Chain A
Amino acid sequence: MTTKLKLTVAAAAMMLASTAAWAGPEVVSGPGADPGCFAPWDESTTYFQWPAKEGPYRVAVVNGFVGNTWRIQMIKTAKAFSEDPAIKDKIKEFKVVSTGTDAPAQLGAIEDFINQGYDAIVTIAVSPDGFDRVIRLADRSNVVLVPFDNVLDTDKVMQINENQLEMGRMYGNWVVDQLAAQGKTSGKILEVRGLAGNSVDRDRSIGINEVLDARDGPWERVSVVGNWDDGTAQKVVADAIAVHGHFDAIAAQGGTTGVVQAMLDSGHPMVPIAGEAENGYRKLLAAHSGDGLKGISIGQSPGLVAIAMKAAISALEGNVMPQLIAVPLPVATYDQLEDGVNYWTDLPDNFFTVNEFPPCGVNITGPAIMAQDESDVN
């Protein structure tokens, strides 16, 4: 027992000494592999290359918060994708953990997988900052760490996201355009924000307000926090309508089904709206667009996890990868909605309609995933 302890301590010390030199990805020039799938964020995006490793690999997904449909759909997508024929042979071991909204626990889990010798760790960060230590440790052991969805404010890791700022701008432009079509160039706009302290919430809100500052106006703004949750959003929007009486348009980051429900319940006239990609929201758009609920639906896809896994494996194979990968925004406006194609009347309100990314070979649709039961996905 004691000898084992001493040996491992000595081995750990030697590892520390031998890898003290900074490893990690090398910054190289582009273009990267498979640009159709791994599109660089913009022209200034740098490119990374890790030393190629022999497969198959050990891959872990470290999720934070769990408990809404989006995250559950994300976890199911991850598990289904790890069994996908295109990728199955490249993965030796696959593990998913959820740490809850707890930064130290998430950092600890990532560090644990590094210590266990995993090759790639895909994560949704619970905070845009604070990962310096695990990035340093990952680089030291040549582990590919891939944050997606809630990404980090750093350019030292490969990250994958939809452009949240752009999404916010599109929300903003949509409501201003729709109001302009009605002949309104000023008025009162309700902004429904997401989970406070989160980079996605921050960037979408900046995008919305940037557009409102720049175009027409003046726009009087009322901001409420809906936490991307239908119940919370419905409550705060109902409160806001009770206090302010009337809004000319609504820009909601999430929980959009609840937002529209609150408008219906309070008898608020149907006004232009921008929102997420919940199935329930799209159902309501299809039903009420004739009454003036002219909406745009742009969603953050739970399928991002599959692209992140694919990117991690591509990086492990030694391919040149963009540091920041942009996944195109899946947009649908009220006049483009089609039952069974981009929304489903027979499926629950709270799942996310956008899941697949054909250019990346991610062809698992949201309904296909939600229709499967647990045992099939395992």
Chain B
Amino acid sequence: MKTWSARWLTQNRGFAGAILLFLALYITYNFMHPRGFSTAVLVQNSNESVAIAFVAMAQTIPVLMGGLDLSVGAVMTLTSCIASELVNGSPAQMLLGMFLTLLSGAAFGAMNGVIVVYGRIQPIIATLATGAIAIGLALLVRPKPGGDVDGDLNWALTNTVWDFVDTYGGNPDAGWLAPFANIPVPLIILFGVPLLVWLPFRRSVTGRTIYAIGSAEGAAYMSGLPINRAKIAAFTLAGFFAACGGLYLAIQTSSGNADTVQAGTYTLNSIAAVVLGGTALMGGIGGAIGSLVGALILRVISFYFRILDIDPLLQPLIEGVVLLIAVSFGAFRTLRVKNRLELFR
């Protein structure tokens, strides 16, 4: 006889741990920051977290099937370059540009899925190759860094709701707006997209099939689940989330930059964020929201270097050690198992 909350906790131990770790780290950071708990700090922190959080969510979905997508960072870079060409002009043109950016990311993801399913190639190898293709396309679209994403859009989407309304000619001091005025727009985007896209998807047959593939692909196949459809859908959704990250990155920087190194960094960090967020690399357990929190943890660790006095050349080392400790929390359950066979679950 378990209560509802106790059952949720046993099923989402990694996720719950990630949330606790994030809250502990972030609240401490705010106490130490001279302007902690202010809107300005929250806006700044959420801005720098959006792109990596979306890429981490993109990575989650192939990982849930027991695969890795090494192209997510590259797709983010490609779509940010596309957005830097398309997102300007009249509001309608900008919206069309955003739509085309997201569409191109999803299409690229779908291509990954088709290659994996019908080419019967391991995801990690297939996406290693397509990631290089994405970078190549990004360099074609934008051989030199630049582009002119609308300046107002940049300001409106990287600030609070107050500034958003103010930029687009509304009355930012309207009474009905007061409760929301200080919420950063990037936070709304960051939580809004997964709520609207990921949660409904997870409940669908295709979504649940992804979990089933990660747990036991053979059993899922024998049960008549739509395996191929689910795999293609998983990579398509990964491409879509990576494109969300790319679109935001382009708007945030008002430009595009086919930065190969940055693409690689984002791919690797996305894997770290997925693990931090409680998703098992073997597949079958976890979810995109966990990875979102994982990405936030990754970011908060680096926030500390700005308020503490740490030798700059030691910072990467300390970041790595903290990351290792954080990831090790997930291994604590192995200390409590009564039967060693449980480890293989």
A contacts, CB < 8 Å to B: 4-5, 8-9, 11-13, 60-61, 63, 65-67, 72, 75, 79, 95-105, 107-109, 111-113, 115-117, 126-133, 136, 153, 195-199, 202, 374, 378
Contacts and interface: CB of A to CB of B under 8 A. Distances in A.
Interface string B1-44: 00000000000000000000000000000000111111111001
A101 B254 contact: no
Given A104-B49, A198-B145, 8 more contacts: A61-B312, A100-B316, A112-B44, A115-B44, A128-B146, A129-B257, A133-B254, A199-B145
B40 A197 contact: no
B48 interface: yes
Nearest to B315: A98
B225 to A, nearest CB: 38
B190 to A, nearest CB: 12
A8 B41 CA distance: 11
Contacts of B45: 108
Interface stretch (B200-208, B259-267, B275-283): B259-267
Instruction: Indicate the member of A61, A127, A198 with the most B CB atoms within 10 Å.
Output: A127
B232 interface: no
B185 interface: no
A109 B45 CA distance: 9
A105 B182 CA distance: 22
Given A9-B39, A374-B311, A101 B259 contact: yes
A131 B158 CA distance: 12
Interface stretch (B56-64, B119-127, B301-309): B301-309
A116 B34 contact: yes
Contacts of B39: 9, 12-13
Nearest to B45: A108
B146 A115 contact: no
A113 B253 CA distance: 18
Interface stretch (B89-97, B109-117, B147-155, B211-219): B147-155
Contacts of B305: 97
A197 B258 contact: yes
B302 A197 contact: no
A132 B250 CA distance: 12
B52 interface: yes
B47 A105 contact: no
A176 B298 CA distance: 50
A207 B280 CA distance: 51
Interface residues of B, number: 52
Given A96-B312, A378-B311, A101 B154 contact: no
A112 B182 CA distance: 18
Contact of B139 (A61, A128, A196): A196
Contact of A197 (B52, B253, B259, B312): B259
A98 B311 CA distance: 10
Contacts of A67: 316
Nearest to A112: B306
A8 B312 contact: no
B343 interface: no
Contacts of B273: none
Given A8-B37, A107-B47, A108-B47, A129 B147 contact: yes
Which of A66, A95, A112, A136 is most buried by chain B, counting CB atoms within 10 A of its CB? A112
Contact of A5 (B37, B50, B151): B37
14 contacts: A63-B312, A66-B315, A102-B52, A104-B48, A104-B249, A107-B252, A109-B48, A111-B47, A112-B306, A115-B34, A116-B35, A131-B253, A195-B261, A196-B139
A100 B265 contact: yes
Given A4-B37, A12-B38, A104-B52, A66 B260 contact: no
Contacts of B266: 102
Contact of B35 (A12, A109, A127, A129): A12
A95 B48 CA distance: 20
A375 to B, nearest CB: 10
Contact of A109 (B182, B259, B260, B306): B306
Contacts of A63: 312
Contacts of B254: 129-130, 132-133
Q: Which 7 A-B residue pairs are closest in the complex by CB-CB distance?
A: A130-B253, A108-B48, A129-B255, A96-B312, A111-B44, A101-B261, A104-B48
B48 A105 contact: yes
A66 B262 contact: no
Nearest to A141: B40
A9 B315 contact: no
B154 A115 contact: no
B86 interface: no
Contacts of A72: 313
B37 A117 contact: no
B229 interface: no
B51 interface: yes
A128 B145 contact: yes
Interface string B310-345: 011101100000000000000000000000000000
B37 A102 contact: no
A19 to B, nearest CB: 12
Contacts of B258: 196-197
Contacts of A196: 139, 258-260
Given A104-B249, A129-B253, A133-B158, A8 B261 contact: no
A377 to B, nearest CB: 9
B151 to A, nearest CB: 6
A103 B158 CA distance: 14
Nearest to A116: B34
A115 B35 CA distance: 7
B40 A12 contact: yes
Contacts of B151: 132
B145 to A, nearest CB: 5
Nearest to B319: A100
A316 to B, nearest CB: 19
A113 B306 contact: yes
A368 to B, nearest CB: 17
A128 B255 CA distance: 9
A92 B311 CA distance: 17
Nearest to B310: A97
Contacts of A4: 37
